[in-house]
Amino acid sequence: MSTTTENPVAAARRAGRNALDESAGKQLLALHGIKVPQSRVATSVADVDTVISGLQMPVVVKVMSPDILHKSDAGGVKINLRSAADVKAAIEDMLKAPKIKGARIEGFLIEEMAPAGHELVIGGLRDPQFGPLVMVGLGGIFVEILKDVSFRLCPISRIDAEEMLAELKGAAILNGARGTKPASLDAIIDVLLKVGGENGLLLQHATDISEADINPLIVSESAAVAVDARFILG
Amino acid sequence: MTITEEFTPLFAPQTVAVVGASTKGNALPNVFIRRIREFGFTGDIYPIHPGATEIDGLPAYKSLADTPKPVDYAYIAVSGAQIPAMLAAAKGHVRFAQVVSSGFGEVEEGKNLQADLADAARAGGMRLLGPNCLGIYTPRGRVTFTEIGPKEVGPVGIVSQSGGLGTDIIRRGLSRGLKFSGLVTVGNCADVTPSDLLEFYIADPQTKVIGMYIETAKDGRRLFNILRNAKAAKPVVILKGGRTQQGLAAAASHTGSLAGDDRVWVALARQTGCMLVDTLDNFIDTLLIFQTLTPRPQRPTQSVVLFGNGGGTSVLATDYYARLNLDVMPFAQSVIDALAELKLPPGTSITNPVDCPVGTLQQEDGRVAEKILDIIYAQGQPEALVMHLNLSAFVGRTKPEVLDNLVAAAMRVQEKHPGKAHFILVLRSDGEPALEARKREFRDKAVTLGVPVYDEMANAGHPLAALASFERFKATRA
């Protein structure tokens, strides 16, 4: 992760990029008070012992490369690693993968794994006439196949955020169904307000961000963690 | 200048200029002159003509800058290309110009001309309505583009991006008892947008409910901000064209720009309390309920009592209203007991829905309805009551005055229990001409007394659900 204090949106703009990469996206979320997994970057296997010391096991390792768009498909994501030795072995494996071998590699993102929970998606979209919109949906098939999502115009109020969740067809699942634990609605509403509220991320960067996608947001009984995030600039 | 002051010359002009009237007296602007005279316009009318000295008996002037007094409202219907120069030459002498001519932004080759038109209006110091619209209907100012329209000023303020639909709203609204504070067609919205008129109607003391037909909202963010800041002070009903992909394509070719996506409009409604409707009928039905009934946020509508003849109709309506999130719940035993004491004939159902066959309703020549309604009002605590009469079922079975008595009884009950429940009348008929005539007569009387009248139970259900949602929004948000 970048050590500069410059806003990641401004930094990406200055570098002429049209999107924030995962690390910059999470940095932006963290700046807005949204929980992201603790992470460190190792540039090689030799770095692992030093960078890993502050992290809680288990961790996940993701390859960082401008040449690789779909990290999982390329074999560039290894999860559930419980020791420095596991992490080193994972990196060595990755370096042998055909789609990674020849790519430019900027490093390896070592990230704490989010505790188990409900998967949600929180997104943003800039409408040409109405400006920023914020969206929430349940993850996986609910978003992709059933399109069970709810939109609001930014800024949203707390009541708006509550109503967004209530109008999802799958809303009952969040309260805990079929033996699953409930998700913290307060934690989801908190993220929705930080993204789409009065001083939220989308309005603050309304001229720069055309699309945003926090997918998944993992929500447990007590917390919501943004595990992956993507921002399109323009 | 307040928004009310700014738009007063449009809604109540003292001087009207007309561009495009011919000396032969047969062009559309000649018709406009005739219409506003018939409508009772008493201010000055200035025909503008390059050569003529007199048109329709009025002195004509060479340009918009040459009239004796400044022009509050100019109606312009000549070929598009000559209009920008005309407006630019007005030099602050015109307040509102309405360009009804087409051939501007709604077609590819007219886009530049529309930009020129907007620039010219700005340079000429006026606000521009249109182009590609039909005109205004403003009973307070006695100006209208329509052949018919009530002269009485009412509470319904309309802005329409379609001129033809604007005419439909006035004509159909008239037959349903709607009374308007104004109707403005804005076409391509080169300058004045629906948001501007929304702002005016919100501030206008004459307007109680606002209706908007919108195809595109180029200033969507402003529309959102106006609605949000208004905190549902007045009900706003939006008939949105172009909410589906197919509709969007039709809208793009109609008005010349892309409409927002449907989900934006749904969000807008949820966040601001405005109400979205899909059809012209539903639009008029919803405006009518807000014209006649006063929203009651302190006790939002949830439970509805149905009373009338037609068992199947009651059952279907109960289902339909449940889908609209309105409850038709059985009465408490005390209400049933009180109704039982009336000893109504067999076949009468005295729980909610209250189903009274013609045989019951014709008791005491129809005056029995008053007794039933009194009990329901006094003991049933309804938030809304829908009384439905199938007029066809009375034909050949009762004296003609039975129906009169039933309707009169319903009206009297309103006076006895003011503000107790929202009261709606549904008059059903099979379309037989004599029956339709009677229905119309009842309807006019009822709407005048503040009772909205609908043709079917479903038609009444949608506006009632809209009223309920507006009341809930105000109760929780405003």
Question: Tens digit of pLDDT for each residue in B116-174?
Answer: 999 999 999 999 999 999 999 999 999 999 988 889 999 999 999 999 999 999 999 99
pLDDT digits (tens, 9 = 90+) for A24-75: 999 999 999 999 999 999 999 999 999 998 899 999 999 988 788 778 889 9
Chain pair A-B, CB pairs under 8 angstroms: 45
> Are B217 and A128 a contacting pair at CB < 8 A?
no
> Which among B263, B266, B469 is the top mutation candidate for probing chain A, defined by the most A β-carbons within 10 Å of its own β-carbon?
B263
Least confident of A125-139, A170-184, B184-198, B253-267: B253-267
Residue B250 has pLDDT above 70, yes or no: no
pLDDT digits (tens, 9 = 90+) for B369-378: 999 999 999 9
Q: Among candidates A142, A143, A88, A136, which has minimal Cα distance to A110? A: A88
The fold of B1-128 is Rossmann fold (3.40.50)
Q: Among candidates B117, B257, B82, which has minimal Cα distance to B191? A: B117
Q: Domain locations in chain B?
A: 1-128, 146-292, 295-477
| Average pLDDT estimate for B67-76 | 98
User: For residue B256, what pLDDT is reported?
Assistant: 29
Give ipTM to 2 decimals.
Answer: 0.88
Confidence of residue B253 (pLDDT cuts 50, 70, 90): very low
User: For residue A143, what pLDDT is reported?
Assistant: 76
Q: Domain locations in chain A?
A: 38-112, 118-233
> Are B221 and A129 a contacting pair at CB < 8 A?
yes
**Residue, of B420 and B115, whose pLDDT is higher:** B115
User: For residue B247, what pLDDT is reported?
Assistant: 56
Give percent of chain B above pLDDT 70. 96
Judged by DSSP in three states, B411 sits in helix
Nearest to A129 among B218, B476, B477 (CB): B218
> Are B261 and A153 a contacting pair at CB < 8 A?
no
User: For residue A209, what pLDDT is reported?
Assistant: 93
> Are B268 and A153 a contacting pair at CB < 8 A?
yes
> Are A130 and B260 a contacting pair at CB < 8 A?
yes
pLDDT digits (tens, 9 = 90+) for B281-318: 999 999 999 999 999 999 999 999 999 999 999 999 99
* Residue A49 CB neighbour total at 10 angstroms: 13
User: For residue B337, what pLDDT is reported?
Assistant: 96
d(Cα B97, Cα B78) in Å, to the nearest integer? Answer: 13
CATH fourth-level superfamily of A38-112? ATP-grasp fold, A domain (3.30.1490.20)
Judged by DSSP in three states, A179 sits in coil
d(Cα B374, Cα B412) in Å, to the nearest integer? Answer: 10
Q: Which CATH architecture has domain B295-477?
A: 3-Layer(aba) Sandwich (3.40)
Nearest to B267 among A128, A129, A152 (CB): A152
User: For residue B245, what pLDDT is reported?
Assistant: 58
Least confident of A23-32, A79-88, B34-43, B261-270: B261-270
| Segments of chain A with pLDDT less than 70 | 1-5, 145-146
Say if residues B16 and B36 touch (Cβ distance below 8 Å).
yes
Q: How far is A133 from chain B (nearest CA, A)?
A: 8
Residue B444 has pLDDT above 70, yes or no: yes
Residue B403 has pLDDT above 90, yes or no: no
- Chain B hits for A136, Cβ within 8 Å: none
| CATH of region A118-233 | 3.30.470.20
pTM: 0.92
Spelled out in words, what is the top-level CATH class assigned to the domain B146-292?
alpha beta
Residue B251 has pLDDT above 70, yes or no: no
Give percent of chain A above pLDDT 90. 67
Q: The tokens of B317 are what?
A: 């309506």
| Average pLDDT estimate for B10-31 | 95
Q: How far is A60 from chain B (nearest CA, A)?
A: 37
Does the beta carbon of B262 lie under 8 angstroms from any beta carbon of chain A?
A: no
d(Cα B125, Cα B26) in Å, to the nearest integer? Answer: 31
User: For residue B260, what pLDDT is reported?
Assistant: 42
Residue B265 has pLDDT above 60, yes or no: yes
| Average pLDDT estimate for B319-339 | 96
Angstrom distances, CA of residue A117 to CA of A137, A138, A144, A185, B168: 15, 12, 19, 12, 55
